[in-house]
A and B are shown apart, each in its own frame.
Chain A
Amino acid sequence: EDQVTQSPEALRLQEGESSSLNCSYTVSGLRGLFWYRQDPGKGPEFLFTLYSAGEEKEKERLKATITKKESFLHITAPKPEDSATYLCAVRSLSPGNTGKLIFGQGTTLQVKP
């Protein structure tokens, strides 16, 4: 069964303190790993898609990387405006999968000034 687990559940950082969020996945053939950001009271906002081990994507202070078992979202010198819940999702080649995404429970990041 396809599974996605994110850790930690919550993370508190000081402004400028770099860290990483983890997304561990178990799928029957990966067809894409997606990172989203969700602010309170809003829907998830797409950040990155990664397709194969070794791939990296960057956007401002965020960098996403992936191996065959997990993905990391690295946050360099975060600012308070980076505070949000970060969601990871995978699409798999599992039989009968119509292309749906399996989401993790998210990591809530708080960056204090």
Chain B
Amino acid sequence: ETGVTQTPRHLVMGMTNKKSLKCEQHLGHNAMYWYKQSAKKPLELMFVYNFKEQTENNSVPSRFSPECPNSSHLFLHLHTLQPEDSALYLCASSQETGNIQYFGAGTRLSVL
């Protein structure tokens, strides 16, 4: 498998649920990113990891908790989300931070 793979593709959860989004990159990159994409809004950067270390948290609420166990895997743990958190969550990777970013297909999240 090549590129950036995200699972699941679709997720529906209640406000009290706990779920996790998974991202895996097969490109040998060192940096990984989480973005939120809402309708009619620009992509919002959430977190940046470089060599497994978090280098940026863009004032994201604590109900979103990222985890990067190695340079190939990135998780986003979700708990007690709000309906306004419904969006497309995109993972990306790049050789180094600031280089060309390659995106996964995203997870479409609906919070009921």
Does the CB pair A98–B103 fall under 8 Å?
no
One of B12-20, B36-44, B71-79 contacting the partner:
B36-44
In the assembled complex, the Cα of A99 lies from the Cα of B49 at a distance in Å of: 11
Q: Give A54-113 interface residues, CB cut-off 8 Å to B.
A: 87, 89, 91, 98-106
Least CB separation from A104: chain B residue: B42
> A100-B56, A102-B42 provided; 13 other pairs, C-beta below 8 A?
A32-B98, A43-B92, A43-B106, A45-B103, A46-B102, A49-B100, A87-B43, A98-B50, A99-B48, A99-B98, A100-B45, A100-B97, A100-B98
Among B45, B55, B101, the most chain A Cβ lie within 10 Å of the Cβ of: B101
In the assembled complex, the Cα of A32 lies from the Cα of B99 at a distance in Å of: 9
What is the number of residues of chain A that contact chain B, defined by CB distance less than 8 Å?
24
Q: Is B81 in contact with chain A by the CB < 8 A criterion?
A: no
Which A residues fall within an 8 A CB radius of B? 4, 31-32, 34, 36, 41-46, 49, 87, 89, 91, 98-106
Contact with A along B43-63 (1 / 0, CB 8 A): 101001010000110000000
Does the CB pair A98–B56 fall under 8 Å?
yes
Judged by DSSP, the binding face of A is: strand
Measured between beta carbons, the chain A residues less than 8 angstroms from B6 are 43
Among B6, B98, B99, B102, the most chain A Cβ lie within 10 Å of the Cβ of: B98
Instruction: Report the contact-size class of chain B (Cβ under 8 Å from the partner).
Output: 20 to 34
Least CB separation from B50: chain A residue: A98
Does the CB pair A31–B98 fall under 8 Å?
yes
Measured between beta carbons, the chain A residues less than 8 angstroms from B97 are 98-100
Measured between beta carbons, the chain B residues less than 8 angstroms from A41 are 105-106, 108
In the assembled complex, the Cα of A60 lies from the Cα of B97 at a distance in Å of: 29
